[in-house]
């Protein structure tokens, strides 16, 4: 029986990227589980932002800092002295990575070196979960679900930088946090988590389907869509977060065999095209769309993840299908624009999700 409450209650958790979409949801959940949280990230750069909507600044230790500033990161990490680190800080957008490859590599590659180096300098950290992406695999554009030991790659700078992040983690694990030397030369277990396209309330990033759609409907505009036939593994935001929490739990419990990489994706029926998801969004939320026929920089067209390893080894399983994920997501935005208390609403979404997985509580 897995007990998330028992493991995270009172634990000191350092979250990078806590001001972002997934980081904010993770902090809210960890707070609910009773963790003592320190977040390290740039200040929010979207208006609105879920971090501000949930007033997370008042609920956790909040540090504004650049992941590329090793001295500051190292100082803050050693001062907080966490049990576990969840590393989410990143430049996470493919189109932006074409516009700013240097910034993308600096943040995503130097960033992971910095966090792992800071952990190396702070011997008390017991566990690190590095959040990468399904896009870290060398994409063969075939109807094939990628497994954890498949070749890494990445065509665009974002995907490629996340493959690099995987390689950096692997090198640090082999060189400094080798599982053979655990408890002899070091006390830290490190893993990576590869998740697919996440949807959920409070994402206000540019160039992402759901946020773009919500904004277009709100402004009474028609959404312009690219890559309508692209196939993606869509999942509700709490699904991969549950994976990160379970993986973190295994590492905190010193299960050395789990210091490795895990895929967290949806079931086959939720791996659908952009077109299919748009039809579903329109049926719930209204709105209209146009297809952008201009040529855009390359983006993977076909992406599927094999999730057997996480299901077998972590007892992690997808909870919602894509329709429920869309329903939960759109109800969040609807509630926000109706002026509802979003802290309570978001906690209710976590509670509802937890009920479905009551065995882990
Ligand atoms: N959202 C998705 O669909 C998805 C899918 C797969 C993987 N991921 C990964 O999950 C993580 C979180 O993604 P998100 O969707 O919440 O993104 P987001 O853009 O909402 O959040 C990114 C966070 O990183 C921080 N950050 C960016 N550059 C930084 C820097 N130089 N120094 C310090 N902090 C910096 C931001 O301040 C923010 O807190 C990323 O690592 C991303 O690659 C996201």
3-state secondary structure the chain: CCCHHHHHCCCEEEEECCCCHHHHHHHHHHHHCCCEEEEEECCCCCCCCHHHHCCHHHCCEEEECCCCCHHHHHHHHHHHCCCEEEECCCCCCHHHHHHCHHHHHHHHHHHHHHHHHHHHHCCCCCEEEEECCHHHECCCCCCCEECCCCCECCCCHHHHHHHHHHHHHHHHHHHCCCHHHECCCECCEEEEEEECEEECCCCCCCCCHHHHHHHHHHCCCCEEECCCCCEEEEEECHHHHHHHHHHHHHHHCCCHHHCCEEEECCCHHHEEEHHHHHHHHHHHHCCCEEECCCCCCCCCCECEECCHHHHHHHCCCCCCCHHHHHHHHHHHHHHHHCCCCHHHHHHHHHHHHHHHCHHHC
Pocket test for ligand 1, best of 89, 97, 166, 195 (most atoms within 8 A of CB): 89
Pocket test for ligand 1, best of 90, 129, 133 (most atoms within 8 A of CB): 90
Q: Which domains are seen in the chain, by residue range? A: 4-199+235-265+305-322+343-360 (3.40.50.720)
pLDDT at 308: 97
Cβ count near 43 (within 10 Å): 12
Does residue 2 carry a pLDDT above 60? no
Find the Cα–Cα–Cα–Cα dihedral 83, 89, 90, 93, rounded to 10°. 120
Q: Who has greater pLDDT, 70 or 279?
A: 70
Cβ of 56 less than 6 Å from ligand 1: no
Cβ of 233 less than 6 Å from ligand 1: no
Average pLDDT, the chain: 93
List pLDDT tens digits, range 171-182: 999 999 999 999
pLDDT at 232: 83
Q: Looking at residues 168-196, what average pLDDT do you find? A: 97
User: If you take atom 2 of ligand 1, which residue's CA is the nearest one?
Assistant: 198
Cβ of 50 less than 6 Å from ligand 1: no
Pocket test for ligand 1, best of 20, 26, 72, 244 (most atoms within 8 A of CB): 20
Going from the Cα of 88 to the center of ligand 1, the distance in angstroms, rounded, reads 6
List pLDDT tens digits, range 274-313: 889 999 898 888 888 888 877 777 776 667 899 999 999 9
Cβ of 19 less than 6 Å from ligand 1: yes
List pLDDT tens digits, range 197-247: 899 999 999 888 999 899 898 888 888 887 888 888 889 999 999 999 999
Going from the Cα of 183 to the center of ligand 1, the distance in angstroms, rounded, reads 32
Cβ count near 309 (within 10 Å): 17
Does residue 361 carry a pLDDT above 60? no
Ranking 54-68, 241-255, 271-285 by mean pLDDT, the lowest is 271-285
pLDDT at 190: 98
Does residue 359 carry a pLDDT above 70? no
């Amino acid at each position: 029986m897995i007990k998330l409450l028992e493991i995270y209650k009172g634990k000191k958790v350092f979250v990078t990227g806590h001001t972002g979409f997934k980081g904010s949801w993770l902090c809210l959940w960890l707070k609910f589980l009773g963790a003592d949280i320190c977040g390290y990230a740039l200040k929010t750069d979207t208006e609105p932002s879920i971090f501000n909507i949930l007033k997370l600044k008042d609920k956790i230790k909040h540090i504004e800092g650049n992941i590329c500033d090793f001295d500051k990161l190292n100082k803050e990490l050693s001062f907080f002295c966490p049990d576990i680190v969840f590393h989410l800080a990143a430049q996470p957008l493919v189109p932006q990575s074409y516009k700013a490859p240097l910034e993308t590599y600096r943040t995503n590659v130097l960033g992971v070196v910095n966090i792992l180096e800071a952990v190396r300098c702070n011997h008390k950290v017991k566990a690190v979960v590095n959040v990468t992406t399904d896009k870290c695999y060398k994409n063969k554009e075939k109807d094939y679900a990628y497994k954890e030991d498949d070749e890494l790659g990445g065509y665009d700078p974002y995907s490629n930088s996340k493959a690099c992040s995987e390689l950096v983690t692997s090198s640090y694990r082999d060189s400094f946090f080798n599982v053979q030397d655990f408890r002899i030369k070091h006390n830290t277990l490190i893993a990576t988590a590869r998740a697919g396209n996440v949807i959920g309330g409070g994402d206000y990033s540019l160039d992402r389907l759901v946020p773009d759609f919500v904004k277009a409907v709100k402004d009474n505009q028609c959404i312009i869509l690219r890559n309508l036939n692209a196939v993606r593994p869509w999942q509700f935001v709490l699904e991969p977060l549950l994976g990160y929490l379970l993986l973190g739990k295994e590492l905190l419990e010193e299960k050395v065999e789990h210091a490795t990489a895990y895929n967290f994706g949806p079931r086959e029926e939720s791996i659908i095209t952009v077109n299919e998801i748009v039809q579903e969004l329109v049926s719930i939320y209204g709105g209209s769309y146009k297809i952008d026929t201009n040529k855009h920089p390359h983006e993977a067209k076909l992406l599927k993840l094999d999730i057997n390893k996480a299901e077998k080894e972590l007892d992690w399983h997808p909870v919602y299908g894509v329709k429920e994920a869309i329903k939960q997501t759109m109800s969040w935005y609807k509630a926000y624009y109706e002026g509802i208390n979003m802290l309570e609403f978001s906690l209710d979404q976590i509670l509802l999700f937890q009920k479905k997985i009551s065995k882990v509580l």
